[in-house]
Amino acid sequence: MAKTTFDGKPVPEGMSRKAFKKLVKQERMEAGKEEFLAKRRLKRKEKRAHTHRHKPPPLSEQTQSGVNVVIDCGFDEKMEDGERVSLVGQLTRCYSVNRRTLQPVNLVIANFNKKLKSRFENELYATHKLWENVQFCEGDLPTIEKSGCCEPSNEFSTENMVYLTGDATETLSTLDPGTTYIVGGIVDKDRHKNLCLNKAKALNIRTARLPIDEHVKISGRKILTTNQAFELLVRWVEHKDWKVSFESTIPSRKQEVKVKQSEKETATDADTKLLEERTNDDSK
């Protein structure tokens, strides 16, 4: 009778093949244990270093910039469900960017209602209520000042607002404390044209475009996502330099690639036609 083997090794007399199989596997595991533990220690060390590098600054070290940024989400009915999910991800990234800067802007999310609000409160378990330096207003732009969601200030009156849109003729050069800058919050695959521009005109709000052509070379349609437009404003507050702000938000080696991706996915005047307004980065 042929001798029973496992893994090319003969099974010792008096030991079942099942028991020998278990023994071989255990020996194999013991032999690779040190290597496994070394890899795990290295991975944990790298994770700690990454966490430390990306850890938000303590709130005590942050200094309010005095700049107000409103994300206007008043286009809920113009979005499909998937686009709304994408916008929720972009708003979350806006909060993250603002939380990790030493000079956060005063972020207001206007028209926080309907299905957008429902998604935050149900699917995301209302975690937005824990966000710092963010105010959520259910009302539209003209009502922010009196809505009670922000401290009373004429900075939120329409005469002190600037709606950012790639269709504007005026170019934004600086961000001024006391002025409120509005970024359109919508993902619509560019179905709706001139949303931000037309809304600003209807509300008699001044418009301006980001200085994209002056600082970045991008071929084809120039588009930014809502979170990219917001991050550009935050980076300008940090550096007071548009070129640095663009490079830190949209690396030059990726600019053309991102534009192509945005054309396939999501973009619009409000998703902030600010690169004429966006580059879809998605999220989920």
Task: Classify residue 11 by its DSSP letter.
Answer: P
Model confidence at 50, pLDDT cuts 50, 70, 90, reads low
Model confidence at 260, pLDDT cuts 50, 70, 90, reads very low
Please give the order of strands across the beta sheet that includes 68-72. 134-136, 106-110, 68-72, 180-184, 161-164, 206-208
pLDDT at residue 132, as a whole number: 86
Q: Is the CB of residue 145 less than 8 Å from the CB of residue 137?
A: no
Most confident of 35-44, 48-57, 93-102: 93-102
In a domain, 258, yes or no: yes
- Token pair belonging to 110: 């206007």
CA end-to-end span of the chain: 61
In a domain, 12, yes or no: no
In a domain, 60, yes or no: no
In a domain, 115, yes or no: yes
163 C-beta neighbours (distance < 10 Å), count: 25
**pLDDT tens column, 167-176:** 899 999 999 9
**Is 188 among the residues known to form the active site?**
yes
Looking at residues 204-232, what average pLDDT do you find?
86
CATH number of domain containing 80:
3.40.1280.30
In a domain, 61, yes or no: no
**pLDDT tens column, 119-178:** 999 999 999 999 988 999 999 998 887 776 776 666 788 999 999 998 899 999 999 988
In a domain, 4, yes or no: no
Number of domains in the chain: 1
Q: What distance in Å separates the CA atoms of residue 265 and residue 87, rounded to the nearest whole number?
A: 12
Q: What distance in Å separates the CA atoms of residue 87 and residue 259, rounded to the nearest whole number?
A: 18
In a domain, 267, yes or no: yes
* Apex 128 CA angle, 61 and 156, nearest 5: 75
Q: Label the pairing between strands 161-164 and 106-110.
A: unpaired
44 C-beta neighbours (distance < 10 Å), count: 10
138 C-beta neighbours (distance < 10 Å), count: 14
pLDDT at residue 111, as a whole number: 96
Q: Structural domain of residue 152, as residue ranges? A: 66-275
Looking at residues 52-67, what average pLDDT do you find?
75
Q: Is the CB of residue 226 less than 8 Å from the CB of residue 107?
A: no
- Enumerate the β-bridge partners of residue 9: 6
In a domain, 186, yes or no: yes
- Which residue is catalytic, options 72, 76, 188, 281? 188
